[in-house]
Amino acid sequence: MPPARSDQEDLRHFGYAQELFRSMGGFSNFAISFSIISILTGAVTLYGYGLEMGGPLEMTLGWPLATLFTLTVAASMAELCSAYPTAGAMYHWAADLGGPGAGWFVAWLNIFGLIAAQAGINYSCAQFILPFLGVASTPRTLLLTFAFILVTQGLLNQYGVKLVSILNDLSVTVHIVGVVVLVAALLFLAPKQPVSFLFQGINSNGRSFYWWAFVLGLLQAQWTYTGFDASAHMAEETEDPRRHAPWGIVLSVAVSGVVGYLLLIALTLAIRTIPGVLSAKDAGGNAIPAVIAILDTALGARAGNAMAALASMAMWFCGLSCITSASRALYSLARDEGTPYSRLLRSVNKTHGTPAPAIWSIVLASIAAMVWTEAVPVVTSLSTVALYLAYIIPVALGLRARRAGSDWPKAAVWNLGRFGPSVNAFAIAFAVFICIVLVMPPNQLAGETLAALLVALTLLYAFVARRRYKGPKWSHHDAAVRESSI
């Protein structure tokens, strides 16, 4: 266990000065990951996709299964976060346990995964906002609204971590209160299916359930359970990060699991007919999200619009937090000369204490990602696979080092103890499984895009980065100095 010292001294031990404002408490650290997980974003946005693939059973069984296995990933990451409380998060963990090359690849997978997630979040937000405003959801209006949402989030991120922290705290309230109100309204005011309906595996065509479609439908839950690495990325802006950041990672998944399950069960019981929900259109003939169709038929158009507004608000908070997390990941890699234009991307606004160039780079890249993929299931699948690769590579490297006798776990104030190797093994197996599943048809474009990205990164590293990039700053220090904290 490291000796008592200030958070600034602890960060200096890793070779970095305190440039970002350290103003987050434990709740705010939890709030940012909870906001990015955002059950009113992931679970709601891909509800129709999950229902089409696995029927009601996708919600009843798929969600708790995904929650349980994701907790093994989150706990494994939390332990590493406690040992390495820096904004680099998975990038720094992988670099220390597997070398500069491993760290560099993990950093870019994390960044691209967050960019793709950002695109899916805000495009979904636009899809929910337009029906509420009474505007037709044409490709043009969706793209313009999507871009406008990103700009508002970028501006708020630029002008202060304190403001974003306050908004993230508010986001927790919006999510919890919103779900409670929605669940109560559906359970007490709407006509309901019998409980046996929850265990049916009927797809949109009325055919019987089959396991492969059910597995593909796990994208709904698994995309929801991304972004909880934000607590680790905010370590340099959190007080006592060796304790608070790990708890932020784990609790964000656990709380989302319970609250999200209540929401999904209430929505599923309120379905009139599955084909009717999945084929619903607005007055102009444009498709509307499945959840809005459920709310319109169960509670009436006015109540449905009100709930759609609530969901869109939660999605906006989710996107706000995602930009925060992604920009810190990009800033951290640029700080170590691991990106093009690193001098620009690592610069921090002296007045607001935020990495403005990194923030706006993420905004522009998110717009490009949505234009390229043109479909929410594809961009969400791409983000999920890229992020889970970034999550699990450091976990695998940590398990290898642990078995080889490394004493990195001694630096983890928050740790899994003797259960660590077993939890790590379950996490690795699950992540590998889910990454394979989520690039299968109909999401093969996600797999093709990811493969192209990996080839491009390999060539870039081999011919450019390997010569210039030397790894995190701490790798330049005397090992004896670093080991003094263990």
Q: For position 379, what pLDDT does the model report?
A: 74
Q: For position 2, what pLDDT does the model report?
A: 44
End-to-end CA distance of the chain: 6
- Which residue spans within 30-176 are E strands per DSSP? none
Say whether pLDDT at 265 is over 70. yes
Q: For position 153, what pLDDT does the model report?
A: 92
Enumerate residues 6+ apart whose C-beta is below 8 A from 20: 87, 161, 236, 237, 328, 348, 353, 354, 355
Give the count of beta carbons closer than 10 Å to the beta carbon of residue 188. 9
- In contact, 182 and 169? CB cutoff 8 Å: no
Q: For position 448, what pLDDT does the model report?
A: 84
Q: For position 485, what pLDDT does the model report?
A: 43
**Residue type present at position 142:** L
Name the nearest CA neighbour of 295 among 327, 262, 263, 322: 263
Say whether pLDDT at 480 is over 50. no
- In contact, 223 and 376? CB cutoff 8 Å: no
The domain in which residue 54 lies consists of 7-469
Specify if 461 maps to a domain: yes
Structural tokens at position 117: 């997630």
Q: What is the pLDDT of residues 235-250, one digit of tens each?
A: 877 888 888 999 999 9
Give start and end residues of each alpha helix (H) in 374-482: 376-403, 420-437, 444-460, 466-468, 479-482
**Residue type present at position 151:** V
Q: For position 375, what pLDDT does the model report?
A: 58
Say whether pLDDT at 484 is over 70. no
Specify if 479 maps to a domain: no
- In contact, 93 and 99? CB cutoff 8 Å: no
Q: For position 247, what pLDDT does the model report?
A: 94
In angstroms, the Cα distances linking 308 to 39, 124, 286, 428 are 14, 11, 16, 37
Say whether pLDDT at 229 is over 50. yes
Q: For position 7, what pLDDT does the model report?
A: 60
Least confident of 21-30, 109-118, 412-421: 21-30
Say whether pLDDT at 142 is over 80. yes
More confident residue, 378 or 172: 172
Total domain count for the chain?
Answer: 1
Say whether pLDDT at 206 is over 70. no
Least confident of 157-171, 276-290, 428-442, 470-484: 470-484
Q: For position 397, what pLDDT does the model report?
A: 96
Specify if 476 maps to a domain: no
In angstroms, the Cα distances linking 421 to 106, 293, 402, 425 are 21, 45, 8, 6
Specify if 475 maps to a domain: no
Scan for tokens 């996490």, then name that residue.
427
Confidence of residue 479 (pLDDT cuts 50, 70, 90): very low
Q: How confident is the prediction for the chain on average, in pLDDT? A: 83
Say whether pLDDT at 371 is over 60. yes
Residues 168, 170, 174, 176, CA torsion sign: positive
Enumerate residues 6+ apart whose C-beta is below 8 A from 60: 198, 199, 265, 268
Name the nearest CA neighbour of 317 among 208, 156, 483: 156
**Rg of the Cα trace of the chain?**
22
State how far Cα 118 lies from the chain centre: 9
Confidence of residue 378 (pLDDT cuts 50, 70, 90): low
Specify if 391 maps to a domain: yes
Say whether pLDDT at 3 is over 60. no
- Which residue spans within 22-70 are E strands per DSSP? none
| Rounded Cα–Cα distance for residues 432 and 222 (Å) | 13
Q: Which domain CATH number covers 38?
A: 1.20.1740.10
Specify if 68 maps to a domain: yes
- In contact, 320 and 164? CB cutoff 8 Å: yes
| Rounded Cα–Cα distance for residues 61 and 441 (Å) | 22
Q: What is the pLDDT of residues 301-337, one digit of tens each?
A: 777 777 778 888 888 988 888 898 889 889 888 888 8
Specify if 484 maps to a domain: no
**Residue type present at position 439:** V
Q: What is the pLDDT of residues 396-420, one digit of tens each?
A: 999 999 999 888 988 889 999 999 9
Say whether pLDDT at 151 is over 90. yes
| Averaged pLDDT, 16-29 | 64
Element (H, E) at 172: helix 161-189
In angstroms, the Cα distances linking 148 to 122, 126, 129, 309 are 10, 9, 12, 17
Specify if 1 maps to a domain: no
More confident residue, 482 or 374: 374
| Rounded Cα–Cα distance for residues 377 and 265 (Å) | 22
Q: Which of 10-19, 44-53, 215-224, 259-268 has maximum average pLDDT?
A: 259-268
**Residue type present at position 415:** N
